[in-house]
A = this chain, B = another copy of it.
Amino acid sequence: MTQKIAILGASGYTGAELIRLIATHGELDIAALGAFSKAGQSLAQVFPHLRHLDLPDMVGFDEIDFSEIDLCFCALPHKTSQEVISGLPRDLKIVDLSADFRLRDPAAYEKWYGNPHAAVEMQKEAVYGLTEFYREEIAGARLVAGTGCNAATGQYILRPLISAGVIGLDDIILDLKCGVSGAGRSLKENLLHAELSEGYNAYAVGGTHRHLGEFDQEFSLLAGREVKIQFTPHLIPANRGILATGYVSGEADAVHAALSTVYVDEPFVEVLPFGETPSTHHVRGSNFCHIGVTGDRIAGRTIVVAALDNLTKGSSGQALQNANLMLGLKETQGLMLAPCFP
């Protein structure tokens, strides 16, 4: 018997990706697609690539009968999300893909996002959605906060190393390269094909990217002391993909061992043989994360590179993985699609 789900914010890229994944899931039934400005439009109008699916039209949120819904995905912009979720039934299972419930501390939220949080109580209730590290809490949660896509990638590299104590905590650098879909379906000049294609640049340089809020929260919690990393994202002319290059002090073999141990039984995170390097090409369109470890020519320095698809493992795939846990389904259900290469 299928369970019924709703997607709020179905007209954005993470919404489309949720639908793409659920289309072959088999045990989930999309009962409602909610949108703002595109309410009233059919799925074929909003996303012609999904026109083969027999799904309801986009509707305003107030037209959705949430009492029939087993789980609701919220793929809304941050700030909007907390307002909308505040108005949903208190017993509705929710996977939020926005930034609104990632930070547990209201002050941290306000610092990084510039406005006071409108649903502080729910902020406390929310479980951080990095599946591999919060699996049990997620399974029992009502509200799960999907992680930032960059934040997920960095944590896949660094969490096991911090936990295992195999790296220094005061000189961690994460140089990250991400494709353009991470910025969403937003009409900004720098996201135009003519502005982006064939060139690349750093942005949010110097420690101003909001995903640092997640790194600070999670790494400090893990280490039992404050950990602040350096983090520079770069915008790359590709639609999907995050490649994070981590520079750490620590022995490469210990780093590789720590990662291998943690991920050995994980269905989606794969540590490559020592010395191999991942590519975003090889995870595109899939829920997989590949991690490679190499020792530097400078003794005691190690480079760890991770690749995942920001829309899948970094966002909608993670959301579905968490929803599977929350609904008592097989965690990998609907998520074993092979990457689409070339």
Q: Judge whether A69 is part of the interface by a CB distance below 8 angstroms.
A: no
A48-B279, A50-B338 known; A200-B241 Cβ under 8 A: yes
Give the number of chain A interface residues (Cβ < 8 Å). Answer: 87
Q: Is the beta-carbon distance between A52 and B288 smaller than 8 angstroms?
A: yes
Q: Copies of this chain, how many?
A: 4
A198-B284, A245-B234 known; A277-B49 Cβ under 8 A: no
Q: Judge whether A152 is part of the interface by a CB distance below 8 angstroms.
A: no
A232: chain B residues within 8 A (beta carbon): 175, 245, 303
Q: Is the beta-carbon distance between A278 and B201 smaller than 8 angstroms?
A: yes
Please pick, from B16, B50, B243, B288, the residue contacting A201 in the complex, using a CB distance under 8 A.
Answer: B243
A298: chain B residues within 8 A (beta carbon): 207, 228, 230
Q: Judge whether A187 is part of the interface by a CB distance below 8 angstroms.
A: yes
A23-B338, A280-B200 known; A177-B234 Cβ under 8 A: yes
A240: chain B residues within 8 A (beta carbon): 198, 342
Q: Is the beta-carbon distance between A342 and B48 smaller than 8 angstroms?
A: no
Q: Judge whether A107 is part of the interface by a CB distance below 8 angstroms.
A: no
Apart from A200-B238, A207-B296, list 5 A-B contacts with CB within 8 A. A49-B283, A193-B196, A197-B342, A205-B305, A285-B285
